[in-house]
Amino acid sequence: MRTVDELNQADAEEFVSALAPLFEGGAGFLRRLADARPFETEEHLFDVARAVAREMPEDDQVALLNAHPRIGADPAAMSKLSSAEQGYDRADPDDQAWVGEELQALNEAYEGRFGFRFVVFVAGRPRADIIPILERALHADRDEELRRGLDDVVLIAHERMDRVRGPRPLREELREAIALEVSRFMVGEIDRDGLVRATHRLIEEGVESPALLALGLANETMEPDIAAPVARLMAEIGLGGWDSSQAGQLLALHAAASILGDVSQPIDGARRIASVSSNAQFRDLVARWEADPDRSDALDAEIRRAAADLFGPPDASD
């Protein structure tokens, strides 16, 4: 996959040819996108792509949507990227005949109602999970559905670029930020909505991760269970199999660091450690502090020593 700099320097036809697999062709759209160069970053390229798709004439918008295969169509008639996205490259429990028949009927109803093809960012979901999404889409406003479909075309293209090129390794601090937010969800500090909001914030901060994007879309697509996208995200950052016990340990270490760095009051950090982990020492310290607040100074010093034992003493050079 060419870099943004290479795409900026390519002639128009080379540009169209390079990006065509990401958009299932879409030559007319891609020529407009070529005219919008130069792009500063990949994010800028896809931001511009979204704007171009929304602003071009409706006939061209419909052509861009219709370039994508139907969800549940014959894989032999699809591109390799579409076939993989729809799960045809893996054993799938929803390969029963009824799934294909239901999707065919819903696709026909959708196309009859709106006059263009249903396109959705599948994000690794089984085809059976698309059925309720398609059913809801049939009740949407046409302009709203046209805009959503075009936005999903761009999301699909962005995810494809990451997949073809391979996602860039996340910086350590971004991996830690993701691990902390997922750990907070696992121990019950935040609920599902809180986790999804956290993914939106990380995406807005520039974190590039297909798994993070899929989790960020979980509420929009009414994902019934987010365990699978959460597991995929943790595997992507090298923490496959992460469980609530490990989550509690990470949050306890983070709280200990906050105590040692004077980011939080000792008792506040101790309460958090006690709530997210099974650390009996901090539970005892919290109970003693709350029973005898007049001894808070002495107990705060004891909490700091316990935090140093848990996290490790601060660097002597600091």
Q: In the block, which residue shows the tokens 């929009």?
A: 220
Work out the angle between the directed axes of helices 172-186 and 192-204 (0-180°, nearest 10). Answer: 170
Residue pair 133/105 in contact (Cβ under 8 Å)? The answer is: no
* Rounded distance between C-alpha atoms, residue 200 and residue 204, angstroms: 6
Q: In the block, which residue shows the tokens 């073809």?
A: 164
End-to-end CA distance of the chain: give it in Å, rounded. Answer: 44
Q: How far is CA 18 from CA 21, 64, 177, in A?
A: 7, 16, 34
- Tokens standing for 144? 């709203």
Per-residue pLDDT of the chain (318 residues; tens, 9 = 90+): 788 999 999 999 999 999 999 999 889 999 999 999 999 998 999 999 999 999 999 999 999 999 998 886 655 556 666 655 665 555 454 456 778 889 999 999 999 999 999 999 886 678 888 899 999 999 999 999 999 999 999 999 998 888 787 656 677 888 888 999 999 999 999 999 999 899 888 888 777 777 888 888 877 767 778 888 899 889 888 898 899 999 999 999 999 999 999 898 999 999 999 999 888 999 999 999 999 888 888 999 999 999 999 876 554 444
Work out the angle between the directed axes of helices 142-165 and 97-114 (0-180°, nearest 10). Answer: 130
Domains of the chain: 1-166 (1.10.3330.10), 172-179+191-236 (no CATH), 244-311 (no CATH)
- SS3 letters for the chain? CCCHHHHHHCCHHHHHHHHHHHCCCCHHHHHHHHHCCCCCCHHHHHHHHHHHHHHCCHHHHHHHHHCCCCCCCCHHHCCHHHHHHCCCCCCCCCCCHHHHHHHHHHHHHHHHHHCCCCCCCCCCCCHHHHHHHHHHHCCCCHHHHHHHHHHHHHHHHHHHHHHHHCCCCCCHHHHHHHHHHHHHHHCCCCCHHHHHHHHHHHHHCCCCCHHHHHHHCCCCCCCCCCHHHHHHHHHHCCCCCCCHHHHHHHHHHHHHHHHHCCCCCHHHHHHHHHHHCCCHHHHHHHHHHHHCHHHHHHHHHHHHHHHHHHHCCCCCCC
Residue pair 196/181 in contact (Cβ under 8 Å)? The answer is: no
For residue range 199-237, list pLDDT tens digits in order.
Answer: 888 888 777 777 888 888 877 767 778 888 899 889 888
Instruction: Please indicate, yes or no, whether the overall pTM of this predicted structure exceeds 0.85.
Output: no
Number of Cβ atoms within 10 Å of the Cβ of 163: 15
